[in-house]
Structure 1
Amino acid sequence: MRERYHRANCKALRRNSDDTSMIIKWHPSDQGYVKLNFDGSLARDETAVEFVLRNHNGYLIESGALNLDSATILEVEAKALREGLLFAQRKGYTKIMVEGDSKLVIQSMLNRGATLWNLIPIIEDIKWTVTKFACID
């Protein structure tokens, strides 16, 4: 039973050449919250932002994607967070849990370390948008 659960719910990523693995699993939001997952992608000279909003049961509520002009991957990740938050705000969600894979964008949002100069306007937009939510984690 444990192995079936593991195969259905977890993904092992190879961390290094000695086959050390790390388990990655998506977790739903707390009840009463909407979870925003955001990501940016960069391929050749094309960039896109993607975001997904799910309820506490993990069911898809909303999703969105935008194609952008050329930008760095960090700019794209930050724009993905900004666009997801703006979308959630427009839809009237007030309690949000946020998850993304860009450590630098998240640290910049939380004022933990220096923000790269090209991210400052986007991060400032995000910080202003966050003030419009009743609760954000």
Structure 2
Amino acid sequence: MDILVNDEERNSFFSKVVWNGWYIWKECNNFVFNHLPVEPSSMLHRARVAMVEFEEVESLRVECQPRQPPQTSTATDRWGPPAPGFYKVNCDVAVKKGSLQAAAVAAVLRDVNGNLVNGLTKKMCISSPFQGKALACRLARLLAHKLNLLDVLVEGDNKAVIHLCVTETAPLWECGAILSDIKHLATQGRFYFQWRSRASNKVEH
């Protein structure tokens, strides 16, 4: 289409087409199976709201950059030590193959020299991988609390979760209580949260 001059405009246009098509299909199903009248203006409004909410969540996953203490290593493809005097906790979640709910979260604590200090794992049911990442961050904070550590860097590989740990942005409903716990526990010392690429997050291995 000549009127769509760049990738951003094309993506926006086709995103609207997809969301409207999805809601038209749902509206048709409601009419056929539930005998509910079709309300085009209401349907288009709901499609637009759903698209905006989806784009806001996706922007968090891509663009968020949380605050962090200085690192002594700039490598992005391997584990780096925290600032002097800090401990680092790496955390992650593993979902059981073939299951949408069974998972295990893990947190591994190391000192500034990379020496293993302690760790925790916990099996649980999750509603989504995103919730699992949030639960892993909470486990990391609970590990530090258990050992009475006050200077800790928590590191995970999900940008959106890390961002929500350090801002007042409203989280997804399924993670609201989890992130509130994390923020409350983080007030009991100097706690920082940092995103790290999946390749350098050794907990997953």
**Same-fold call, TM cutoff 0.5:** yes
Q: Find the residue that maps to 2:81 and give its secondary structure.
A: coil
What's the counterpart of residue 6 of structure 1? Answer: none
2:186 corresponds to 1:136? no
Which residue of 84, 88, 102 maps to 1:35? 88
For residues 129 and 112 of structure 1, what CA distance do their matches in structure 2 show? 15
What's the counterpart of residue 5 of structure 1? Answer: none
Displacement after TM superposition at 1:32 (Å): 1.0
**What pairs with 1:77-88 in structure 2 (closer than 5 Å)?**
77-88=133-144
Counterpart amino acid of 2:185? T
Q: 1:17-47, CA deviations, whole angstroms, 9 ceiling, x for partnerless residues?
A: xxxxxx5121011221110111112122421
For residues 113 and 69 of structure 1, what CA distance do their matches in structure 2 show? 25
For residues 116 and 55 of structure 1, what CA distance do their matches in structure 2 show? 33
Displacement after TM superposition at 1:71 (Å): 2.6
What's the counterpart of residue 54 of structure 1? Answer: 110
Give the TM-score normalised by structure 1: 0.77
Give the TM-score normalised by structure 2: 0.53
Q: Is the 8 A contact 2:104 2:123 kept in 1?
A: yes
Larger strand percent? 1
TM-align CA RMSD: 1.4
Q: Is the 8 A contact 1:108 1:115 kept in 2?
A: yes
Count of residues in correspondence between the two structures: 114
Counterpart amino acid of 2:108? V
Runs of 5+ in structure 1 lacking a partner?
A: 1-22
What's the counterpart of residue 162 of structure 2? Answer: 106
For residues 157 and 84 of structure 2, what CA distance do their matches in structure 1 show? 23
Over 4 Å off, 4+ runs: none
For residues 126 and 88 of structure 2, what CA distance do their matches in structure 1 show? 28
For residues 25 and 109 of structure 1, what CA distance do their matches in structure 2 show? 23
What's the counterpart of residue 68 of structure 1? Answer: 124
Q: Which has the larger radius of gyration?
A: 2
For residues 116 and 169 of structure 2, what CA distance do their matches in structure 1 show? 33
Larger helix percent? 2
Runs of 5+ in structure 2 lacking a partner?
A: 1-75, 193-205
